Chains A and B, each alone.
Chain A
């Protein structure tokens, strides 16, 4: 499936260019941060109420600022220094910004990768079958694909969440259940509908790419030969057509992970995600206090940008090394 030529191409492109290295380092760091979030976080990210004397959110460590304290019913401005326990301050409900930043990586990556995987598992077989058999099956698929594309992804997601609710799925945290981290949440909520919706929105792209590959391979001599020896269609598809579609699908998948991370963030920002531990949600939370507490919105945004850049850099690397013919047209959502 992955030939020596492909791996050597990948290796050469990686060696020759700086960008894939940056992407790799970034992504590995973010994945490590997500996996070891309970160990890296300083506070329970869901615990509220970390306020200064005046009942306001803390700014990042070391900032000298004034806060309002009510003394005997009168409000006084008091000079204080930020609490050293909260490295990046707290948000407007008094949660630790740094700990929430660390946990936010989990949601972005989990949704990004699992939705893409689901879309791939649905889209690739459908596309292969449609392209391989052609005719009516193919026509029907392409019309469905057009219809799906006519829905702006975000709008479709909003509609579906409106119907099915947010249905968060609580996943137990292995590190906490092993007792390695005290005082951290025992499970984290994955936004169920968002994940499924994301998969539903992008499967079409996988189907289209797989269809294209199947269509062009259908008439190849070796596929015809295999058929003439009595190989079943199923074996031809799995044994010949699928392996040849692997590289474009990998490239597409990488691009889609980036698209999904952005989509999840947007839905969380709009308040349709079902989990509050998301970078997108945190940005929305900071919006009301943007003028006075800009760090609350800024930090999770940087998290999203870095994650998506990392994935995009790896996507560019795969594309350059594997399939220069795939282009930006696949960046759909």
Chain B
């Protein structure tokens, strides 16, 4: 199967998945208790106003009409209006994306930069102190709830040592870089770095630990394969055997796992944003849930689902470019 055909199929599957998410969310909203109009207007609204709003929002239509309206709206990028703030949901989602994206990327970078060398060292120095250290670290990492880790980091680095600020995001990365480029001032960038360090560590630790474990076990398997002996037999420097050959082959399956773990990353982001008061999508989702603001809640979840499947299609594409065998199956 050619790469193009493969990607087309994966994309169609992705569309199906997103449709599933949209439908489930709509279903949940339909069965959830509480009258939307009352939720929108508050308890004090008169029956008359409520009736008017119901008609306006199409809430008196049969359920399938409401569903088709909703799907139709999504297709043209209309996610509806927030019940609480009466703002467009698209705008409320989009304005929060940079914060969450920064956090997710920073955490992923932390995870990859620490985990891969740690996994390699652990696998190549098996049963030496470095391996025990890495194993202990990764065991702790996958066993620690990230909100608690966040609090402990706040306590240690924020309260006791006073090195890092303990919450909020006074400046975004894009603005910070802009200040650096336009005015030559690195101050904003430094502020950004200071503020994102603890949240990124909080969100990244679980993944660091997970990838360390994956890299170690994958690499141990891979090192036992005959081609490794053959590659060493031809005199290739150890660095190339280890990284160009073995690590590369180890990373191929890990990549797929990481794609699937994006859901965990997003869930983790919700928690981390709550702990650090980081104004991203996760924090907004919690607010929406507390307020039972269904359109906003739906909008955020649909967005997350789209992001998830997009990343996974991307991962599949990367996978097939790394592993030559995939395309011939």
Q: Which of B31, B253, B270 interacts with A155 by CB under 8 Å?
A: B270
Contact of B151 among A163, A258, A301, A329 (CB under 8 A): A301
Residue ranges of A at the interface with B (Cβ–Cβ < 8 Å): 143-144, 146-147, 149-155, 158-160, 162-163, 165, 258, 262, 265-266, 269-270, 272, 280, 283-284, 286-287, 290-291, 294, 297-298, 300-301, 304-305, 308-309, 312-313, 327-329, 331-333
List the A residue with the shortest CB-CB distance to B144: A305
- Quote the shortest CB–CB distance from B242 to chain A (angstroms): 21
Q: Are A155 and B210 in contact (CB under 8 A)?
A: no
Residues of A close to B271: CB separation below 8 A: 154, 266, 269-270
Nearest residue in A to B20 (C-beta to C-beta)? A147
A149 touches B145 (CB 8 A): no
A152 & B304 in contact (Cβ 8 Å cutoff): yes
Contact A270 B143 (CB under 8 A): no
**Does the CB pair A151–B139 fall under 8 Å?**
no
Could you jot down 17 A-B contacts, CB within 8 Å? Answer: A146-B16, A150-B305, A151-B301, A154-B270, A158-B285, A162-B289, A163-B28, A269-B145, A272-B289, A301-B145, A304-B148, A305-B148, A308-B143, A312-B143, A329-B253, A331-B210, A333-B264
Q: Report whether A283 and B148 are in contact in the complex, using a CB–CB cutoff of 8 Å.
A: yes
Q: How distant is the Cα of A333 from the Cα of B20 in the complex, in angstroms?
A: 18
- Residues of the B chain whose Cβ atoms lie less than 8 Å from the Cβ of A151: 21, 24, 263, 301, 305
Asked if A270 and B286 make an inter-chain contact with CB atoms under 8 angstroms apart, the answer reads yes
Task: State the 7 A-B residue pairs at the shortest beta-carbon distance, nearest first.
Answer: A154-B267, A301-B148, A147-B20, A308-B143, A152-B267, A329-B257, A152-B263
Q: Which of B31, B142, B256, B263 has most A Cβ within 10 Å?
A: B263
Chain A interface SS verdict (over half): helix
B316 to chain A, nearest CB (A): 12
Q: Is the CB of A328 within 8 A of B217?
A: yes
A146: chain B residues within 8 A (beta carbon): 13, 16-17
Q: Please, how many angstroms separate the alpha-carbon atoms of A146 and B32 in the complex?
A: 24
Q: How many chain-B residues does the 8 Å CB contact rule pick out?
A: 55
121-148 of chain B: CB within 8 A of chain A:
139-140, 142-148
A interface footprint on B3-38 (CB within 8 Å = 1, 0 otherwise): 000000000010011101100110010011100000
Q: Which of B73-81, B152-160, B195-203, B225-233 contacts A (4 or more CB under 8 A)?
A: B152-160
- 9 additional contacts (CB under 8 A) given A152-B263, A159-B28, A283-B151: A147-B16, A155-B304, A163-B32, A265-B147, A266-B267, A291-B159, A305-B140, A328-B213, A332-B263
Complex Cα gap A162–B34 (Å): 11
CA distance A305 to B308 in the complex (A): 28
Residue of A nearest to B156 (CB): A294
Whether B152 lies near A298 (C-beta < 8 A) is yes
Q: What's the Cα separation between A300 and B147 when bound, in Å? A: 12
Assess whether A150 is in contact with B263, with CB atoms less than 8 Å apart: yes
In the bound complex, residues from chain A placing their C-beta under 8 Å from that of B214 are 327-329
| B140 in contact with A309 (CB, 8 Å) | yes
* A158 in contact with B289 (CB, 8 Å): yes
Residues on B lying within 8 angstroms of A by beta carbon are 13, 16-18, 20-21, 24-25, 28, 31-33, 139-140, 142-148, 151-152, 154-155, 159, 210, 213-214, 217-218, 253, 256-257, 260-261, 263-264, 266-268, 270-271, 274-275, 285-286, 289, 292, 297, 301, 304-305, 308-309
Smallest CB separation, B221 vs chain A (Å): 8
Q: Which residues of A contact B151 (CB under 8 A)?
A: 283, 286-287, 290, 297, 301
Instruction: Verify A149–B263 contact, CB threshold 8 A.
Output: yes
Q: Is there an interface contact between B301 and A162, defined as CB atoms closer than 8 Å?
A: no
Known: A155-B285, A333-B267. Contact between A290 and B274, CB under 8 A?
no
A233 CA / B274 CA spacing, docked (Å): 50
A300, B148: Cα distance in complex, Å? 9
Q: Are A162's CB and B292's CB within 8 A?
A: yes
The verdict on A329 contacting B256 (CB below 8 Å), with A151-B301, A155-B270, A305-B144 known, is yes
A153: chain B residues within 8 A (beta carbon): 263-264, 267
Q: Out of A150, A158, A313, which one reaches B308, CB within 8 Å?
A: A150
Cα distance A304–B148 when bound, in Å?
9
Contacts of A152 in B (CB 8 A): 263-264, 266-267, 270, 304, 308
Interchain nearest-CB distance for B278 vs A (Å): 15
CA distance A101 to B152 in the complex (A): 18
CA A162 – CA B274 in complex, angstroms? 18
